[in-house]
Structure 1
Amino acid sequence: MLHIEPAFLQYPDWKGHSVLQEEVAKFLSDYCRSPKPLKPENVVVMNGCGAVFSALAATLCDSEDAILIPSPFYGVITEDVGLYSTVKLHHVPLYSQVRSDVRPFQLTVEKLENSLKEAKKEGLNIKALILLNPHNPLGDVYSSEELISFLQFAKMHKLHVIVDEIYMLSVFNETDTFCSVLSLDGLPDPQRTHVMWGVSKEFAMAGIRLGMVYSENGDLVQALDQLGYFHGVPGPTQYQMVQLLRDRDWLNSEFLPENRHRLREAHSFMIEELKKLDIPFLHRSAGFFIWADLSKYLKEKTFAEELSLWRCFLKHKVLLSCGQAFSCVSPGWFRIIFTDRLHKLCSLSGFPLSSVLPQNKTNEKLSK
C-alpha cells in the first residue's frame, strides 16, 4: 500500500491513471453483475462524488437548465449541482401517505411525469434525472422493473439519467438483492445513462476523496476530462485504491461479510429501540440510516417545530438530520444514523429521551 511507483508521481490522465480505470471497470463489472465486462475507457475518476455531481451537471446542462430529483434526497446534492452554474433541482415530491398500490415515499413513473409537466409549465428546461439507489435517506432499493420503467421514462423525454449507487455494497439483509443499472441487459438509452460510485461510505474512507462515474457516452467522458484538471486524485492515492480493489479475497471473505454483519446487527438493535418507543419508521435494509417519523412530538406540524425538535436533540448532544434538510414535504421525519459499534449503541439505550423531547401530551408515553 505504501510503495510508490514513479509513474504515480507524474501528471496523470485527468480521467484517472489507466491502471485504476482498468481496476474500477473490473470491480464494477463484478459487483454490479454486468452482463459483459465494462470498458476502462468509460471510467472517469475524480476527487469525490460531490465533484462528480458538479462536473456532470456542468457538462450535461446549460446554465439555466434543471434536473429532476425525487424528494426527500441527500441535501448536499443541491450545492453540488450548482457549483459551476445556475443549474437547479426540480423536486419530485414523495409522500408518506400509504395507498393500496403505493408504499410510503414510493417513486413511480406517474410522479415523474407529473413533476416534468409542472416543470415545463414553470418554463424550466429539464435535462436530466437523478436517481439514488440505494436511496439516501429512505433506504429504498429499486427493483429491476422499477429501474427499467424510470429509464424508459427518461428515454421518452430525452433525459440523461445520473444513478448514484454509492451504497450498493451496503445492502445488509440476506433476503434482499441490489440491482445495479449496470446489471441490466440492454439499457433503454445507454448514451444517456451514467452511473456513480465511490469509496467514502462503504469503505469508511471519506478522506480519500475518490468518486467515479461510468458512462458509454464518449463526448461526456471527454468533457469530464476537461474538468478533471480541477478534480484530479493524487497518484499515490490512486495506487492505493488499485491495491484495495484488487484484493478480492479479503474483500469477499472478510471485509464485506463482516461489514454487512455489523450493519445488520446495529440496524436490528436500533429498530427494536424505535419499536419500544412506538416511533414509526421505514423498515429498509440498505445504507447507514433509518428514516423515522417523529411528527407526534411536534407541537404543530410545521418545519419550524421540526427544527425546534432537532435543536432539542442537538442540545443534548444527539445529532439527527431533520427532514427539511432532505427537502421532505412532510414535517417531522428524521434520518437516524445507526452505523456504530453495537456496544456504543447499547450505551445509548438508557438515554432519557423524555429529557430531550418537548413535554406535551403527545409524548407522555415516551416519558414513562
Structure 2
Amino acid sequence: MLQIEPAFLQYPDWKGHSFLREEVAKFLSHYCRSPKPLKPKNVVVMNGCGSLFSALAATLCDPEGIRPSGHHRICLVSCLISFDVRPFQLTVEKLENSLKEAKKEGLNIKALILLNPHNPLGEVYSSEEMISFLEFAKMHKLHVIVDEIYMLSVFNETDTFHSVLSLDGLPDPQRTHIMWGVSKDFAMAGMRVGMVYSENRDLVQALDQLGCFHGVPGPTQYQMAQLLRDRDWLNSEFLPENRRRLREAHSFMTEELKKLDIPFLHRSAGFFIWADLSKYLSEKTFAEELSLWRCFLKHKVLLSCGQAFSCVSPGWFRIIFTDQLHKLKLGLSIAHFHFSSCILVVSPMEWDKM
C-alpha cells in the first residue's frame, strides 16, 4: 500500500484515477448487492463526503452547475419531528408536509437528502420505505442524494441493510445519486475519501469541473484501491471483528442506560444511541437542554444535543458509543455522578455555581 508510482504524483482525472473508480464500482456492486455490475464511468471520487455534498449542492441547485443560487435549496427533511408507532419515523406524509412548508417560505426545493442507515437514530430503512421516498421525489421532480456511509456498520445480525443500488430499478435513476465513504465503516476519516455513484452523465461531468477543488492525492487513491480490492481480508477479518466490537460497545452502553433508567432508541446500526435525558431538565426547554450539554462539556463528556439535529422535543442527546471500553466507563462514571448528586437536586442552570 506504500508503493508510489510517478503517475500518482501528477494531477489525476478530477473524478478520480480510473483504477480507483474501477475498484469503487466493483466494491459497491458487491457490498450493495447490485443486480448488475456498476459502471466506473458513473463514479466520482472526492476528498470526503463533505466535499461531495458541497459539489452536489453547487451542481444541483444552479442551472449553470457552478454557483449555488440564492433561491434554490437542497432539503434535508428532519425525521426528528414527532413520535409515531416507531419513534421519529420518517414517512412520505412528513416529506409532503415539509415540502409544502418550504414552498410557503418561498424556497425552491431542488433535492432531498436521505440517510440510510440514519444518523443520529441508527434507523435502517427497508427497501419498501426507501422506494416510497424515491417515488415521492420522482413525483415532485426532486433529485435525491442517498447517503449510505454507515452501510457496513449494521452490527445486529438479525437486521439487514438494503442499499438503493440493490433495487432492480430506481423510480428515477437520473435524479438518484448514492454516496459512500471510508470515514465511518473503515474508521478512516483522516484519509478524506468519499464517492458518489450516479447514472446522470451531466451531473458526473459537472462534478468533474469542480473536482479540481476537491481532489484526492494520488498515493491515497492507490492505497484506497488496494484496500477495496482486498475482499478476503475485509470479509474474513475486518468486517466481522468491527461488527463484533460495535455490538459489544453498544450492548455495554445500552445496559448502563437501562440501569440509569434513561429511555433510548434501541437500533442496530451506526455509532450512536439516541437517548432521552429530558427528565434531568428542570424545564422542558431547549435553553435547559443547552445548559445540560454545557455541563457535560465542562466535565469533558461530549454529547450532541437534539437542537443540532432539529429535534423539536427538548432533552434528546446523541451518545457516541464507539470507543474503547475504559473511556466509555470513565464517561459514564462522570455522568452518573452528576445525575445522582446534582441533577436531581438542582437545575442545570445552577451547576456552574457548584
Flag whether TM exceeds 0.5 (same fold): yes
Aligned-partner Cα distance in 2 for 1:122–1:271: 41
Match status 1:9 vs 2:9: yes
Mapping of 1:273-292 within 5 angstroms?
273-292=256-275
The question of whether the paired residues in 1 share the 8 Å contact of 2:77 and 2:98 is answered with no
Report the Cα distance in structure 1 between the residues aligned to 2:165 and 2:335, rounded to whole angstroms: 46
Q: Which runs of 5+ in 2 are unaligned?
A: 63-68, 348-354
**Deviations 1:288-345 (CA, angstroms, capped at 9, x unpaired):** 0100000110111111100100011111111111111111111110000000123443
Find the partner of 2:253 among 261, 270, 275: 270
In structure 2, relative to structure 1, the CA distance for the partners of 1:352 and 1:58 (3 Å cut) is closer
SS in 2 for 1:55: helix
1:68 pairs with 2:47:
no
- The one-letter amino acid paired with 2:74 is I
Aligned partners of 2:179 and 2:230: how far apart in 1? 21
The structural deviation recorded for 1:69 is 1.6
Instruction: Give the whole-Å Cα distance in 1 for the aligned partners of 2:346 and 2:160.
Output: 38
Aligned twin of 2:196: 213
The separation in 2 between residues aligned to 1:254 and 1:344, in whole angstroms, is 25
Give the Cα–Cα distance (whole angstroms) in 1 for the partners of residues 204 and 335 of structure 2: 53
Structure 1 counterpart of 2:212, from 229, 239, 262: 229
- Structure-1 separation of matches of 2:154 and 2:181: 15
Deviation at 1:27, TM superposition (A): 0.3
Paired with 1:362 and 1:191, the residues of 2 have a C-alpha distance of 56
Counterpart-to-counterpart distance in 2, 1:222 and 1:188: 22
Q: Distance in 2 between matches of 1:149 and 1:232?
A: 35
Per-residue CA deviation, residues 3-32 of structure 1 (Å, 9 max, x unaligned), is 112221111000000000000000000000
Q: Which amino acid aligns with 1:33?
A: R
* 1:40-59 pair list within 5 angstroms: 40-59=40-59
The normalised TM-score by structure 2 is 0.93
- TM-score, length basis structure 1: 0.89
1:185 CA drift (Å): 0.6
2 CA distance for matches of 1:43 and 1:284?
31
How many residue pairs get aligned? The number is: 339
* Aligned position for 1:203: 186
Answering whether residue 66 of structure 2 is matched by residue 94 of structure 1, we say: no
Cα shift at 1:144: 0.3
Distance change (3 Å), C-alpha of 1:354 and 1:244: same
* Residues 39-88 of structure 1, C-alpha deviations (whole Å, 9 max, x = no match): 0000000000000000001000131212222226xxxxxxxxxxxxxxxx
Q: State the Cα distance separating 1:218 from its structure 2 match.
A: 0.0
Indicate yes or no: 2:347 matched with 1:360: no
Using a 3 Å threshold, how does the CA distance of structure 1 residues 351 and 22 change in structure 2: closer, same or farther?
same
DSSP 3-state at the match of 1:70: coil
Cα pair 1:262 1:341 within 8 Å, conserved: no
Provide the C-alpha distance between the structure 2 equivalents of 1:356 and 1:293, rounded to a whole number of angstroms. Answer: 13
1:33 aligned onto 2:20 = no
Amino acid at match of 1:360: L
Same amino acid, percent of matched pairs: 85
**One-letter amino acid of the counterpart of residue 81, structure 2:** L
Q: Which residue of 122, 126, 131 maps to 1:148?
A: 131
Q: CA RMSD in A?
A: 1.5
| Unpaired runs of at least 5, structure 1 | 73-92, 364-368
Secondary structure of 1:71's aligned partner: coil
